[in-house]
Structure 1
């Protein structure tokens, strides 16, 4: 028998980015000031996670399967922001010199982006006081800057795909991709 508490439909979602040394909020605590919110997202498209693993089947004479190899593990997540803001430009054009006025206006120079820029990234979904959060344990990089769409019938949006890189292996040989939490949102202690 299944458990409906393990299935979720989320009312709200956010993506956050931060420098590599930013602390990861644990146990439902809010994000600190180091974390930039990407802003409004395309909720119909949501977050798309892709796990890629290369495999090869090895056969003995006579076509008998003897073993399979599995290697080159990769995790990517795709999302579509609607906003033109500093966080989106930090992802699309790291190293830009564009200033944003907070009222939808901006001005400055967009340089050829630093394609090796590294950052922490967090994905959060919420309904009421329940949240689900997945934060990169090591770092992420933009793997693909997809189509940007501007037209007369829908909101302008960009397609961004990030690759998430694991930590180095610990003493047990485990490499960590994400810190994850699903539970109640909590306030800072003492607030």
Structure 2
């Protein structure tokens, strides 16, 4: 019911996980069944995240305004949906290093390439409520700006999420774990 302050979700924590399994991704085996189930060891946690802005989900359509004589704009046509998720990890760890400099080694820094990877976003509210979103297809993950400076700061990571053939972007899990 509207007007109930209990309906306000205060997200206290968030996690990002990357699927790093070596075999083919199988949703039945590689996605936890419910919020009561942990992610398998084939998923790596990114680490600590910047709480503000959290997860920024930018949703876009290509739009074309349709105008009629004497009336002006009468309609908009929308096509080409795109979803880009942004988040900001604080840590420098092997998982982050693989995102910032994919394919590089300790002795050889390569030109970054974008490799599709399954990704999961998890948020936990102050009442224990959990929401998980696990990409249906490999997402393109990119760190557009890297830096080396005295004070630690978060890198922004951009994730382009793609729909499957039914138009589904994520497997979604909701609830309070038992």
Task: Check 1:157–1:68 CA distance in 2 against 1; reply closer, same or farther (3 A cut).
Answer: closer
Give the unaligned 5+ runs of structure 2: none
What is the number of equivalent residue pairs in this alignment? 169
State the Cα deviation string for residues 105-136 of structure 1 (Å, max 9, x = none).
xx443311222x00011111124642111111
Give the unaligned 5+ runs of structure 1: 98-106, 170-174, 187-191
Task: Check 1:14–1:108 CA distance in 2 against 1; reply closer, same or farther (3 A cut).
Answer: farther
Written as runs of structure 1 = structure 2, the 5 A alignment for 1:1-191 is 1-19=2-20, 21=25, 23-28=30-35, 29-97=37-105, 107-115=106-114, 117-126=115-124, 127=126, 129-143=128-142, 145-146=144-145, 148=147, 150-152=149-151, 155-169=152-166, 175-185=167-177
> Which one has a larger percent strand, Structure 1 or Structure 2?
1
2:135 and 2:6 map into 1 onto residues whose CA distance is 25
The alignment yields a C-alpha RMSD, in angstroms, of 2.2
1:145 and 1:185 map into 2 onto residues whose CA distance is 36
2:3 and 2:40 map into 1 onto residues whose CA distance is 36
Q: CA deviation at 1:13?
A: 1.3
Q: CA deviation at 1:67?
A: 3.6
| Partner SS, residue 156 of structure 2 | strand
1:6 and 1:147 map into 2 onto residues whose CA distance is 38
2:77 and 2:143 map into 1 onto residues whose CA distance is 27
Between 3-12 and 176-185, the greater mean CA deviation after superposition: 3-12
1:168 and 1:76 map into 2 onto residues whose CA distance is 18
